Each structure stands twice: as structure tokens, then as C-alpha cells.
Amino acid sequence: MLLDLDSFYAQCEENVNPSLKGKPVVVCVYSGRTHDSGAVSTANYAARKYGVKAGIPIVRAKKILESLDAAFVPMNHPLYEQVSERIMETLRTQADAFEQTSIDEAFLDVSERADHSFVSAKDAALEIKKQLATQENVTASIGIGPNKLVAKIASDQSKPDGLTIVKTEQATEFLAPLSANRIPGVGKKAEEKLAQLNVFTISDLSNLSPATLVDAFGKSLGAYLYRAARGEDDEPVRERGPPTQFSRIATLKQNTRDAEDTYQLLAELAKSVSDKLKEQEMSCKSVAIIAILNDLSIHSRSRTLEPPTSEVNKIEIAAKQLTQEFLQATPEATLRRLGIKASGLSKEAGQTNMSKFLGAQ
């Protein structure tokens, strides 16, 4: 089964601020440039009714919802991470194998505990929905299928609070009328190519020969699409390994090529990356800056830290130096956005455990 939480950030906001309930709620990523500049991160279903959705400018959302009592709230990522971590922890215990694929989404292999029965799997899904409602006051949409591909597509079929079950023998019939872009991995580019081949639905796709698909998409994507059109997929549900990097990125108040103008932002980003490392009890061997220029080109410079660290000061100093050096070496560069990436992650050595141990005495 694939479980995807409904309008996730918006539900988190509604739960910490019950006065939002019933209103259109829009979670905003303010760029900080002018009062209202920025984009919509997500909106609850009351706002979506009017066409407000992720990615549109905040200004446009405000115009659309002008005459309604709508709430615009700034994105609060630490809150969503906390809620997500609690939910994922509970979900993990409900599956034979568990794979979190994003902040609000996870695959649960329930084959064994449901005795390979779709009826039992449905009961398990209803139980999970009930648990999410009582423990976290959130709804989710769940898809159940014979494999990850079908479960994922099924989870998108009915939202919010949906439950769609596609048994093995129903898979091809279920997929046939759906638009080909419902297949994970089919983005804008693939969709255009498919349209040139007169392919719009998954049924159309299933009529293409392997040779045509490999010709158009290359061996790997071509073979994947051939199987996907038939509802075939044998990727196992597997726990993802520990993270290998953390990064934070933000827009400068104004474009600049004066290093000092970036120091406040870099300090905030360093704090955020360091907090994340400490929360995960990890340290990083390498710090990089990501510089996005006014022409939107992306550049990065990195440095090794010896010994590995999670200290905010060390990360901040490295990022400031990298920014200075980058600006000196690139006279034509004007910064628009800046990010810090910590990579080469490892679990903190025994030290923290020792200090925890001592602290507990």
C-alpha cells in the first residue's frame, strides 16, 4: 500500500491553529523580497476548490480568495517534520517492510500480515486511517495494489481521505483509461514525446512495441514504460538508508555581490543545517555553498572539514569563506539565492552518547 497524507502542510497548520478549520488555508513560501512575493507551498481542499494549488504565486492566490475568509500562513517546516516523524514511526510498525518516500508519503508492504488477501489489506488500511485520525487528527489517501507502481497510482485516484484497492487481476483494466502522465516518472518531457506518438492514455501506451519505446525513451525508461503500461513492477518495498546530505536554501533580500550582504542569511542557513545534524546526531565532513545567480545559473563550492562537525560556527565560517572566495573568483556573478549543503554525513562518534550518559547521571 501507498499512503499519502492529504494537503499535508495545511493539515498540520489547521491542527496547531484550530481557528483555521473550515476556512481556505494557503501555506506560503514568502521569498522575503516584497510583502507578498513568493509561491504557494500547498493549500487545503477548501482553497483548492477555487484553483489555488502548489506553485502558483501568493499574489494570485490572494486575488482568487479575495472575497472569502481565507488564511495565509507562512511555511513552518520544523513543525511538519515533527508531525511527519511521529506518523512515520507509527506506520513503520504496521508493515512487514516500510519505505518512506517523502515527508508525507510511504510504502507499506503488508503482504505477509494480510495473508496475501486484499480484503485483509483493506482492513489494515482502515485501521491505519482510524489511528491517524485519533492520534494526529489527519486524513490520508491510500492505494492498495499488487505492487508499488499500482499502489502509487491507486493512491492518487481518490483524494482526500481516499481508499482505492486494485487487485492483481484488475490492474490492467484500472490503468487503461488513465492518462499516461499518472505513471510515476512520466513528466512534462515524456508526456510531450508520448503525445507525438499519439499516446495519451495508459491503454494507448500499452499498444506501443518495446522497440518503439526504447527508440523514443532509451533502454531503461523505455523498458520501464513497457512494463508500467501493463501494471508490472517488481521493485521491493525497502527501508531507505540513512540520509547522505542535508541542505537549506533561501532567497536573498536583494541581489548582491557583496559578501557581507549574505552573512545574515548564511548564519540562518548554517543554524538550520546544524540543528538538523544535531537532531540526527550526525556530523558532516564537507560543507558546500550553492549559489544561484541573477541569471538563474547554479554554482557550488565545497570544502572539507577536519574533523567532521555539526557545530554551527564551523559551518557558518566555512560558508562565509566559500561565498567570499566565489565572489572574488567570479567577477560577473550577482547572487540571488544562496544555500548551504552538509554532506559526507556520519553518525556522531561515541562522544555524544558519552555526554548524554554523563548528563543522565
Q: Is 52 an interacting residue with respect to ligand DCP (CB under 6 A)?
A: no
Binding mask 8-27 for ligand DCP (x = CB under 6 A): xx------------------
Q: Is 160 an interacting residue with respect to ligand DCP (CB under 6 A)?
A: yes
Joined grid coordinates for residue 9:
502542510
18 or 55: whose CB is closer to ligand DCP?
55
Contacts of 279 (CB under 8 A, 6+ apart): none
Q: Which stretch binds ligand DCP (CB under 6 A): 2-10, 205-213, 232-240, 248-256?
A: 2-10
Least distance from Ca ion to the Cβ atom of residue 15, Å: 15
Q: Is 99 an interacting residue with respect to ligand DCP (CB under 6 A)?
A: no
Residue 41 interaction partner, one of ligand DCP, Ca ion, none, beta carbon < 5-8 Å per kind: ligand DCP
Q: Is 7 an interacting residue with respect to ligand DCP (CB under 6 A)?
A: yes
Instruction: Report the distance separating Cα 131 and Cα 242, nearest Å.
Output: 27
Joined grid coordinates for residue 328:
572574488
Least distance from ligand DCP to the Cβ atom of residue 248, Å: 14
Has 105 been annotated as catalytic?
A: yes
Residue 272 interaction partner, one of ligand DCP, Ca ion, none, beta carbon < 5-8 Å per kind: none
As a 3-state breakdown, the chain gives helix, strand, coil percent values, each rounded to 5, of 45, 25, 30
140 or 149: whose CB is closer to ligand DCP?
140
- CB count within 10 Å of CB 42 equals 25
**Phi, psi (deg, nearest 5) at residue 69:** -85, 70
The DSSP string of 18-59 is GGGTTS-EEEEEE-SSSTT-EEEEEE-HHHHTTT--TTSBHH
Answer whether 73's CB lies under 8 Å from 64's CB. Answer: no
Q: Is 326 an interacting residue with respect to ligand DCP (CB under 6 A)?
A: no
Answer whether 217's CB lies under 8 Å from 228's CB. Answer: no
Q: What angle do CA 341, 347, 350 make, to 5 degrees?
A: 140
152 or 248: whose CB is closer to Ca ion?
152
Catalytic residue among 13, 14, 105, 316: 105
- CB count within 10 Å of CB 260 equals 10
User: Residue of minimal CB distance from Ca ion?
Assistant: 105
9 or 246: whose CB is closer to ligand DCP?
9
Least distance from ligand DCP to the Cβ atom of residue 154, Å: 14
Catalytic machinery residues: 105
Footprint of ligand DCP (CB under 6 A): 4-9, 41-42, 54-55, 104, 159-160
